[in-house]
């Protein structure tokens, strides 16, 4: 074997490698790599959002319940969805950005120590933390080795709580087969009926398939129940009850409505002279003048944005303003409305 001394380091307590800080005890995120995340502005289009999510995905094994936090952000990257940053999406973005800068240190895996498998499933997603109890500074310390999570599918959302936990257990064991095969591990859950479900004599088709999937792990696996109040590995965010509004990712319409894209066609007989008067009126108002400057070149000048009034600034960060042919439009739910500056112009268009 040939080695290059220029690529080797000896006698160091910790090293930087591939965006991580590696030590003899733990694996963490290189703070220098994520320092610019705090300075990054809220994404203004799908390209910026995808760039941020791809960066965050690289460190997802250090982020607890990443899929649940990023659920609403993934949805606005869909080609059929019009980009718009609502208050809930801004909160999700800020939580992920904060999590990147405060990510948990992962313990270095020790194959001679049993694993603890902490799982939780809810209507928003599925999450798990693979733990071990290791000796750190001469004291037994429990810490995470790996985090894994994903969003639930529409068909899975109809499962009951017990079946959801069983589904999650089977999925996690399959994904972490490399860690768990021939290893002793304890499954910790807040669902007391999981053990009886996996051992039931007359299972339904789902349970029968899941029982077969974990059959090879039965001898090394034990299931322990932990009360929800002390099940601290479960993510509190995924248990919050949100209002049934359009901003909620789990929004359920009260009535069946057709899936209509947020696009519209509105025909009106408006002369060119009127449009030119609207454009000229923008120059006489501070907020309109700044807004058109920001939208015209997709500018991200922070000083210009801060010069806007608070209400205007919030709407701008939420992506509600659009510029088309030099005219400003404000998007609200499924409609876009032309913004007029002068009251005289409002009277003109009404008459």
The answer to whether 49 and 40 have CB atoms below 8 angstroms apart is: no
Going by C-beta distance under 8 Å and a sequence separation of 6 or more, which residues neighbour residue 224? 186, 187, 188, 189
Query: Taking residues 248-258, what's their average pLDDT?
Result: 55
Question: Does 140 score more than 60 pLDDT?
Answer: yes
- Say whether pLDDT at 182 is over 60: yes
Higher per-residue pLDDT: 273 or 253: 273
> What is the structure's pLDDT at 320?
75
- Would the pLDDT of 244 be above 60? no
39, exposed or middle or buried, with CB in 10 Å at 0-12, 13-18, 19+?
A: exposed
Mean pLDDT over residues 250-276, rounded? 56
The pLDDT, as a whole number, for residue 256 is: 54
Instruction: Assess whether pLDDT exceeds 70 at residue 146.
Output: yes
Q: Where are the alpha helices (DSSP H) in 116-185?
A: 161-175, 177-180
For residue 273, is pLDDT > 70? Answer: yes
Count CA within 13 A, CB hemisphere, residue 279.
12
Q: What is the pLDDT of residue 242?
A: 47
Average pLDDT over every residue of 159-177: 81
What single string gives the DSSP state of each residue in 254-321? SS------S---------HHHHHHHHHHHTTSHHHHHHHHHHHTT---HHHHHTS-HHHHHHHHTT-E
Taking the domain 13-101, which CATH number applies? 3.30.70
Of 149-158, 172-181, 335-344, give the range with the top mean pLDDT. 172-181
pLDDT at 170 over 70: yes
Answer with the residue of higher pLDDT: 139 or 247: 139
Kindly report the pTM of this predicted structure: 0.44
Beta-carbon contacts of residue 319 (< 8 Å; ≥ 6 apart)? 44, 83, 84, 85, 331
102 — pLDDT class (breaks 50, 70, 90) = low
Q: What band does 265 get if pLDDT is binned at 50, 70 and 90?
A: very low
Q: Which one has a higher pLDDT value, 260 or 165? A: 165
Residue 260 has a pLDDT of: 46
pLDDT, residue 43, reads: 81
Question: pLDDT digits over 52-65, tens only?
Answer: 887 777 666 667 66
pLDDT (0 to 100) of residue 262: 43
Task: Quickly state the pLDDT bin for 234 (edges 50, 70, 90).
Answer: very low
The pLDDT confidence band at residue 25, using thresholds 50, 70 and 90, is: low
pLDDT at 286: 79
What pLDDT is recorded for position 165? 77
Three-state DSSP state, 105 = coil
Top pLDDT among 203 and 342 is at: 203
- Across the chain, where does the E strand assignment appear? 14-17, 20-23, 26-29, 106-107, 115-121, 125-136, 139-151, 185-189, 221-225, 321-324, 327-332, 335-338
In this prediction, residues 195-221 reach a mean pLDDT of 78
Domain segments of the chain as ranges: 13-101, 106-239, 272-350
Task: Quote the crossing angle between the two packed helices 46-58 and 87-101, to the nearest 10°.
Answer: 30
Q: Confidence band (pLDDT; 50, 70, 90) for 240?
A: very low
Confidence grade of residue 142 (pLDDT, cut at 50, 70, 90): confident
pLDDT at 271: 63
Give me the CATH topology for the region 106-239: Ubiquitin-like (UB roll) (3.10.20)
* Dist. CA 328–CA 322, nearest whole Å: 6
Question: Is 235's pLDDT higher than 70?
Answer: no
Q: Which residues contact 157 (CB under 8 A, 6 or more apart)?
A: 123
pLDDT over 70 (residue 6): yes
User: What SS3 class is residue 127?
Assistant: strand
Is the confidence at residue 293, as pLDDT, over 50? Answer: yes
């Amino acid at each position: 074997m040939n080695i290059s001394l220029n690529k080797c380091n000896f006698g160091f307590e910790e090293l930087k490698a591939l965006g991580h800080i590696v030590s003899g005890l733990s694996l963490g995120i290189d703070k220098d790599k994520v320092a610019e995340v705090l300075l990054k502005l809220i994404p203004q289009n799908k390209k910026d959002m995808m760039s941020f999510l791809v960066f965050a995905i690289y460190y997802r094994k250090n982020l607890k319940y990443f899929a649940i936090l990023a659920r609403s952000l993934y949805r606005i990257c869909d080609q059929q969805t019009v980009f718009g940053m609502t208050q809930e999406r801004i909160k999700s973005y800020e939580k992920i950005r904060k999590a990147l800068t405060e990510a948990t240190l992962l313990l270095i895996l020790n194959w001679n120590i049993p694993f603890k498998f902490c799982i939780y499933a809810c209507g928003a997603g599925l999450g798990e933390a693979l733990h071990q109890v290791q000796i750190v500074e001469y004291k037994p310390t429990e810490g995470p080795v790996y985090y894994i999570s994903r969003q639930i599918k529409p068909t899975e959302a109809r499962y009951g709580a017990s079946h959801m936990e069983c589904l999650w257990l089977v999925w996690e064991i399959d994904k972490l087969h490399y860690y768990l095969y021939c290893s002793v591990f304890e499954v910790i859950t807040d669902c007391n009926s999981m053990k009886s479900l996996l051992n039931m004599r007359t299972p339904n088709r789902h349970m029968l398939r899941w029982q077969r999937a974990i059959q090879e792990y039965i001898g090394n696996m034990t299931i322990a129940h932990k009360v929800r109040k002390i099940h601290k590995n479960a993510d509190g965010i995924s248990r919050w009850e949100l209002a049934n509004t359009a901003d909620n990712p789990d929004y359920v319409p009260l009535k069946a409505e057709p899936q209509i894209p947020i696009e519209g066609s509105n025909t009106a007989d408006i002369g060119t002279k009127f449009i030119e008067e609207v454009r000229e009126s923008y120059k006489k108002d501070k907020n309109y003048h700044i807004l058109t400057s920001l939208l015209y070149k997709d500018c991200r000048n922070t000083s210009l944005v801060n010069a806007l009034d608070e209400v205007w600034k919030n709407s701008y960060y939420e992506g509600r303003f659009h510029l088309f042919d030099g005219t400003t439009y404000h998007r609200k739910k499924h409609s876009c409305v032309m913004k007029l500056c002068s009251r005289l112009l409002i009277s003109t268009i009404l008459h």
